[in-house]
Amino acid sequence: MIPLPLKHYDEAGTVLPPRWLYWMLAIACRDLLLVAAFTAIPAESDRLYRIFFPHSDVLWLQIAVTLPFLLVIVLMSFREHLWKRGYTGWRLLIKPLCTLGSLCQLLLIGSFLERAGWQFNGYLGAVALLMIALMYMVNRSHHLAIMLHDWRQPPVREQTEE
């Protein structure tokens, strides 16, 4: 008996990452995504930076705290290549990197709120709640635990003759 519904497996029977994880990782990398989007619009980039990054003096720090999440995305995206080379221990980094990234983002949000005199900020509050939810979901998810257990052995792929 399989522990998850069939829609959570690929053709080879390997557990796929949950969709919510991809969405949460995209939200966690929002600063990096915004910087990439703003560079595509050079005429409006100065105004957009002032709106989305009022603390532009620490923009580099905002980008740096997205790096653990970016590393998780890269590791999950290149899992087939890593398996082909015999690497499986990287899977154990997924939970700690997500937790580390969330804690770093929460500390950064705290510093922004402290700079603003602890005034209410809906955007930062929503991001803080999402980071707390991400930490909780990553550490309590049954799907993620099954996926990481399944990924301890590379899947056996049948070779097709051409």
- pLDDT for 162 equals 53
Is residue 161 included in any domain, yes or no? no
| pLDDT value at 56 more than 80 | no
pLDDT of 157 > 80? The answer is no
Q: Is residue 98 part of a domain?
A: yes
Q: Which of 43-52, 79-88, 92-101, 113-122 has the highest mean pLDDT?
A: 92-101
pLDDT for 28: 94
Which neighbouring-strand residues pair with 9?
15
pLDDT of 54 reads 78
Q: Would residue 79 count as lying in a domain?
A: yes
Reply yes or no on whether the pLDDT at 161 is more than 70.
Answer: no
User: Rounded distance, CA 155 to CA 117, Å?
Assistant: 53
- Region 55-77: mean pLDDT is 91
Domain boundaries, position 80: 12-150
Is 125 among the domain residues?
Answer: yes
Residue 1, in any domain of the structure = no
* Cβ 55 vs Cβ 115: under 8 Å: yes
Residue 159 lies in a domain: no
159: confidence class by pLDDT, cuts 50, 70, 90: low
Residues in CB range of 111: below 8 A, 6 or more apart = 58
Q: What is the pLDDT of residue 160?
A: 56
In a domain, 142, yes or no: yes
pLDDT at 155 > cutoff 80: no
- Residue range 108-154, pLDDT digits in tens: 999 989 988 999 889 889 999 999 999 999 999 999 999 999 998 87
**How many independent structural domains does the chain possess?**
1
- Residue 67 tokens read as 């790096």
- Closest C-alpha among 107, 134, 112 to residue 122: 112
Q: Is residue 162 part of a domain?
A: no
